[in-house]
Amino acid sequence: GQQLNQSPQSMFIQEGEDVSMNCTSSSIFNTWLWYKQDPGEGPVLLIALYKAGELTSNGRLTAQFGITRKDSFLNISASIPSDVGIYFCAGSSGSARQLTFGSGTQLTVLP
């Protein structure tokens, strides 16, 4: 089946720093989504990407849909303590609708 490789697995950064994480796949996706999950909660949708090459921002978050349709990255600028959590990329092949998730990036923001 399809697999997403997400990196890094974990990150420790200072408050105020920028952070970047990415996902790659061996197969093409038509949609890339980025989610954040807090402990004991469900994933919350941050950004959705629908077109190859698309660059989309949501506040301090910016994500891009790779032109090969096999990768995506998420940037968080000027990190704050509430950015702590696990970030997941997810891809969809359109007609299948099911989402394939990456293994997550655990972000820790140090004061």
Partner 1 sequence: NAGVMQNPRHLVRRRGQEARLRCSPMKGHSHVYWYRQLPEEGLKFMVYLQKENIIDESGMPKERFSAEFPKEGPSILRIQQVVRGDSAAYFCASSPPGGGHGDEQFFGPGTRLTVL
Token duo for residue 50: 């629908």
Window of 14-22, 38-46, 52-60, 66-74 that interacts with partner 1 by CB under 8 A: 38-46
CA dihedral 3, 75, 64, 97 (to 10 degrees): 40
Query: 51 in helix, strand or coil?
Result: coil
Query: 83 in helix, strand or coil?
Result: helix
Smallest distance from the beta carbon of 27 to partner 1, in angstroms? 15
User: Which member of 35, 66, 71, 83 binds partner 1 (CB under 8 A)?
Assistant: 35
The residue among 35 and 73 lying less far from partner 1, judged by its C-beta, is: 35
Residue 33 lies near partner 1 (rule: CB under 8 A): yes
User: Which member of 21, 34, 64, 102 binds partner 1 (CB under 8 A)?
Assistant: 102
Residue 25 lies near partner 1 (rule: CB under 8 A): no
Going by C-beta distance under 8 Å and a sequence separation of 6 or more, which residues neighbour residue 18? 75, 76, 77, 78, 79
Q: What is the per-residue binding string for partner 1 in 60-79, x denoting contact by CB under 8 A?
A: --------------------
Amino acid identity for residue 72 in this structure: S
Token duo for residue 60: 């301090």
Residue 28 lies near partner 1 (rule: CB under 8 A): no
